[in-house]
Amino acid sequence: MGRASNARQRLMDAVMELIWENSYGAVTIEAICDKAGVKKGSFYYFFDSKSDLAAAALKSSWDDRKPAMDALFSPTTPPLERFLKFFQGVYKRQVEIKRTCGQVLGCPIFTLGSEVCTQDPKLVKTIEQLLKNYIHYFENAIRDAHARKLISAPDAACKARLLFAYFEGALTQARIQNDPGLLKELPQRAMELLGYETRVRAA
């Protein structure tokens, strides 16, 4: 009942895009409203603040992405291939983003987390949860690879942390230097980090 609307979703889409392309602090509520084609009154009808919107948008975009991640890290795929496909996808995606919007944008969760972590405890809690989700995919695949004796990684959690830190570090550096080339080696380096020493065929 009442009036139908997708303004809430449009606001979440807009804020994600604006934060990713710029930064949290540089994005104003007016800019979000303009991009979403929503008046400010409606903004405050749906959300209390930019922080509130950002938290909702992050959760929502994770819900959107989760099925693809579940498919990529499916137990039906050999564990090391999961990583290969994942990192090749990351590279391809960043190349594409640079082509379409002129900038490598990296990982919005990590960049945003690093920006707001000292100022917005509630938002950062959401971010921590999402980052942990990613690490769990990694850890799970590593444990699996170890069990199948493809690699030796008795401490899967540790290896997952290592790989994730490298991954996010490289992605952020690519953003800073606006150079997707830095990510081309991601699949190869990841295999090496995991202790799988064979040559990987080019992406």
Partner DNA sequence: AACTTAGTTTACTAAATAGTCAACTATATT
Partner DNA sequence: AATATAGTTGACTATTTAGTAAACTAAGTT
Contact positions toward DNA, by CB under 7 A? 1-5, 7-8, 28-31, 38-42, 44-46, 49-50
**Assigned token pair, 16:** 């994600």
**How far is residue 94's CA from residue 174's CA, in Å, rounded to a whole number?**
9
Which residues make Cβ contacts (< 8 Å) with residue 116, sequence separation at least 6? Answer: 24, 123, 124, 127
Q: Which residue in the set 68, 71, 117, 147 belongs to the binding site for a second copy (CB under 8 A)?
A: 117
The binder of 140, among DNA, a second copy, none, by C-beta within 5 to 8 A per type, is none
Instruction: From the list a second copy, DNA, none, pick the one residue 68 interacts with, judged by a Cβ distance below 5 to 8 Å according to partner type.
Output: none
Smallest distance from the beta carbon of 52 to DNA, in angstroms?
9
Q: Measured from the CB atom, is 37 or 181 closer to DNA?
A: 37
By CB under 8 A, tell whether 129 contacts a second copy.
Answer: no
Amino acid code (one letter) for 125 = K
Of the chain, the end-to-end C-alpha distance in Å amounts to 51
Q: Which does residue 133 bind out of DNA, a second copy, none, counting CB within 5 to 8 angstroms by kind?
A: none
With tokens 């769990």, the residue in question is: 136
- Can you read off the two tokens belonging to residue 21? 């392309």
Choose, by CB under 8 A, the member of 5, 119, 122, 147 that binds a second copy: 119
Closer residue to a second copy in complex, CB, 8/112 = 112
Which of 5, 6, 9, 25: binder of a second copy (CB under 8 A)? 25
Please report, for the chain, how many H helices and E strands are present, in that order: 9, 0
Name the one range near a second copy by CB under 8 A: 52-60, 66-74, 113-121, 137-145.
113-121
| Collapsed DSSP state (helix, strand, coil) of residue 81 | helix
| Cβ 70 to DNA shortest distance, Å | 29
* 17, 143, 163 from 61: Cα distances, Å: 11, 27, 23
- Binding of a second copy at residue 55 (CB under 8 A)? no
